[in-house]
């Protein structure tokens, strides 16, 4: 009887504990600067954050520039990057178009960049995402993209 009680007690204490941070970056279709004002960007980032909460997605930090978005996400136990990106990008582009926030039809690029982030550098990544406005006064998204590709050892589509 004591063993059965211990097993039941042990089963009641087991639960998934997951903390996996992912830095995701995606651009607008053809890198067109649809998000051409700070006010519009802030409105879009806020909507993405609110929608994510409704879908059980934890966005730690979000920001971006006229032609792309950076998002620091903590994955839940039953989530994967592809599904999260699909939910965030699909719903936000629908919302932007439904509300007529851009002059032309808004679209996100299909592709995205995603890398895991060690908890020891979370603050550094948050600061990087937070400072996108300043960062892109000095560097284009293409330059930033090329640095990410090189830094993380990805191959560009046209590389062999």
CATH number of the domain residue 112 falls in: 3.30.70.1290
Residue 156: its pLDDT value, please? 65
Residue 26 lies in a domain: yes
pLDDT tens per residue across span 102-156: 999 999 999 999 999 999 999 999 999 999 888 888 888 888 888 878 887 887 6
Of the pLDDT bands very low, low, confident and very high (cuts 50, 70, 90), residue 16 is: low
Domain around 122: 18-143
pLDDT higher than 60, residue 7: no
**Radius of gyration of the chain from its Cα atoms, rounded to whole angstroms:** 19
Residue 159: its pLDDT value, please? 47
Residue 82 lies in a domain: yes
The answer to whether 61 and 126 have CB atoms below 8 angstroms apart is yes
Q: How far apart are CA 107 and CA 96, in angstroms?
A: 9
DSSP string, 24-36: EEEEBGGG-----
Residue 60 lies in a domain: yes
Residue 39: its pLDDT value, please? 97
pLDDT tens per residue across span 44-70: 999 999 999 999 999 999 999 999 999
Say which residues have a Cβ less than 8 Å from residue 70's Cβ, sequence separation at least 6.
Answer: 23, 24, 25, 61, 62, 63, 64, 128, 129, 132
Residue 19: its pLDDT value, please? 85
- Higher-pLDDT residue of 117, 3: 117
Percent of the chain surpassing pLDDT 90 = 68
Residue 5 lies in a domain: no
Residue 144: its pLDDT value, please? 83
Residue 104 lies in a domain: yes
Domains contained in the chain, number: 1
Residue 6 lies in a domain: no
pTM over 0.85: no
Residue 149 lies in a domain: no
């Amino acid at each position: 009887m004591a063993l059965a009680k211990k097993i039941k007690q042990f089963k009641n204490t087991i639960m998934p504990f997951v903390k996996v941070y992912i830095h995701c970056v995606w651009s607008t279709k053809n890198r067109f600067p649809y998000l051409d004002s700070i006010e519009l960007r802030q409105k879009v980032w806020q909507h993405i954050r609110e929608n994510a909460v409704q879908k059980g997605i934890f966005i730690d930090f979000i920001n971006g520039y006229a032609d792309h978005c950076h998002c620091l996400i903590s994955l839940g136990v039953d989530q994967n990057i592809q599904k999260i990106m699909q939910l965030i990008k699909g719903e936000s582009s629908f919302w932007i178009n439904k509300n007529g926030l851009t002059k032309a039809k808004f679209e996100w690029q299909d592709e995205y960049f995603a890398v895991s982030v060690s908890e020891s550098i979370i603050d550094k990544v948050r600061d990087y995402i937070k400072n996108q406005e300043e960062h892109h006064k000095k560097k284009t998204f293409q330059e930033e993209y090329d640095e990410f590709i090189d830094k993380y050892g990805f191959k560009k589509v046209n590389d062999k």
